[in-house]
Amino acid sequence: MSKNKRERVNANLLGKNEEIFRCPLCSGPMKLVHFKSLICKNHHCYDLSRQGYVNMLPHGLQTKYQRRMFEARRMISRKGFFEPLMAKISGLIIQQSKSPSGRIKILDAGCGEGSLLSGIQEKIAQNSALDPLGVGLDISKEGIYMAAKEYSNSIWCVGDLAKAPLASQQFDFILNILTPANYAEFCRMLAPHGRLIKVLPEKDYLKELRNIFYERTNKQIYSSHNTLNIFKSKFKLLGLERLRYRVTLDEPWMEPLIQMTPLSWGTTEERRIKALKMDLREVTIDLTVLVGAN
Ligand SMILES: [Zn+2]
């Protein structure tokens, strides 16, 4: 698909589904005007970008996520790093859908550069009669820009999850993958029969990197216990599955791998350089997938 066409497809998809949005300032419904702006009845106006995404973030909010991190994540993702995770989530969605066919709405809350949502949607469409509409929300403009440029099968929106610019009780599934949650907003946005699927890292997630970065520091031992307890206090836990696999690195992946992971934020330059020089050939992915209901 040509670049211009993809951008138009994004705007068209958004226009056909304008009811999914709500104004982040006054919570009013939004209308797409001239395929150019989403406008509420109080005239709060959010323009579509050239790439067809919409920025609904109040001015002044900054994020520490950077373009390079998203580029690294996409590169890693393209190498099949998250294939088993995408297969697991799409399988859960197919299994948990209340009917075997028809439209389902999936929100990826904290979608980053969008490769996971797009891949999950593709797998659902391939393996079932469901017709998934994906909505990717992220506070990072860089992430959403990259998503909208690449993937035309979803709606992409820059917004703050703490005050999500999306209507209430409409999503059949909300995904929250390796990124912070906002349970009050998840409750509000989930349809009555809806499911929250949250993925969190377990103690051996990228342990090969963790061992180098956090050798002899208290950050080395990670526990998902608190996250699980918070989840259980907000949502009814319907399922919990551990997903563990190893990925073989066939070429020097260390740089994007280090870029991709927020684990590296707290490390020293010396340890980063040490990690870059290591001939690491396998890394461990260790995750828990939680399914919850309101
Ligand atoms: Zn408004």
pLDDT digits (tens, 9 = 90+) for 258-277: 877 765 556 777 877 877 78
Q: Are 178 and 199 in contact (CB under 8 A)?
A: yes
Which stretches does DSSP call E strand in 218-271? 236-248
Sorted by sequence, the CB contacts under 8 Å of residue 226 that are 6+ apart come out as: none
**Nearest residue to 128 (alpha-carbon basis) of 151, 145, 149, 104:** 104
CA of 38 to the centre of ligand 1 (A): 10
E strands, 154-276, are: 154-158, 171-177, 190-201, 236-248
Q: Considering its fold, how many domains does the chain have in total?
A: 1
> Which residues are in the CB-under-5-Å shell of ion ligand 1?
23, 25-26, 28, 40, 42, 44
What is the token pair recorded at 187? 């409750």
Ligand 1 centroid vs 31 CA: distance in angstroms?
11
Which range of residues forms the domain containing residue 42? 3-293
Which burial class, exposed, middle or buried, applies to 111 when counting CB atoms under 10 A from its CB (0-12, 13-18, 19+)?
Answer: buried
pLDDT at 76: 87
Cα-to-chain-centroid distance, residue 119? 11
Ligand 1 center from residue 29 Cα (angstroms): 8
User: Ligand 1 centroid vs 167 CA: distance in angstroms?
Assistant: 13
Choose among 107, 114, 101, 77: nearest CA to 194. 107
Give the CATH number of the domain where residue 91 resides: 3.40.50.150
CA distances from 213 to 28, 131, 270 (A): 47, 43, 9
- Band of the pLDDT at 62, cuts 50, 70, 90? low
Centre of ligand 1 to C-alpha 152, Å, is 27
pLDDT of 118 over the 80 cut: yes
Percent of the chain scoring above 70 in pLDDT: 90
Question: In this predicted structure, what is the pLDDT of residue 64?
Answer: 62
Residue 216, helix vs strand vs coil: coil
Of 48, 122, 113, 50, nearest to 76 by C-alpha is 113
pTM of the model as a whole? 0.92
In sequence order, the β-bridge partners of residue 242 are 288
Distance 21 CA to ligand 1 centre (A): 11
